[in-house]
Amino acid sequence: MKYEFPVQAKILKPVEEVFDAVYNPKKISSYFTTAGASAPLDPGTQVMWEFADFPGAFPVYVKEMTKNEKIVFEWEASDGEGKGAGYNTRVEMTFTAIDKTTTLVRIVETGWKDPEENPHPCVGNAQGWMQMVCCLKGFVEYGINLRKGFM
């Protein structure tokens, strides 16, 4: 069985502003990668994401990027115990302009091995992505960091 848990949210800002809040390392570090992001999410790059509430840096391998439409990357799957599982999953973020002031952000992570035996890593990441889109919404709509003190 293929496991994928799509999450999505409507954000009441233009697609260009929402996309830039994910693509731009300074902006994404203001609400999600709260210990930093090393570079923009350009295709063919390895970007290091760090989180204040999780130890260590997480390498993100950017596979595709279409400005204001899509970002696709791979990163190492978790084993559910806070360690790497030894293989990558694929994350696809899409940005759809509903109108001039509303954007639909959808995130799907796929590629989990043996999710029926150990569903915790993929379910945990789905929860994390939902938190990310909520934090993105708070940041671009209201200029606040919802992750501060969250964990």
Quick one: how far is CA 150 from the chain centroid? Answer: 17
Domain harbouring 36, CATH code: 3.30.530.20
| Count of domains forming the chain | 1
Look at the pTM and tell me if it is higher than 0.85. Answer: yes
Residues 127 and 10: beta-carbon distance below 8 Å? no
Q: What is the pLDDT of residues 2-49, one digit of tens each?
A: 777 899 999 999 999 999 999 999 999 999 998 999 999 999 999 999
What residues make up the domain containing 137?
7-142
The residue type found at 21 is A
Query: What does each C-alpha distance from 36 to 56, 57, 109, 149 come to in angstroms?
Result: 11, 9, 22, 16
Whole-number pLDDT of residue 82: 66
Q: What is the pLDDT of residues 85-143, one digit of tens each?
A: 788 999 999 999 999 999 999 999 998 887 666 666 677 888 889 999 999 999 999 99
Residue 52 confidence (pLDDT) above 90: no
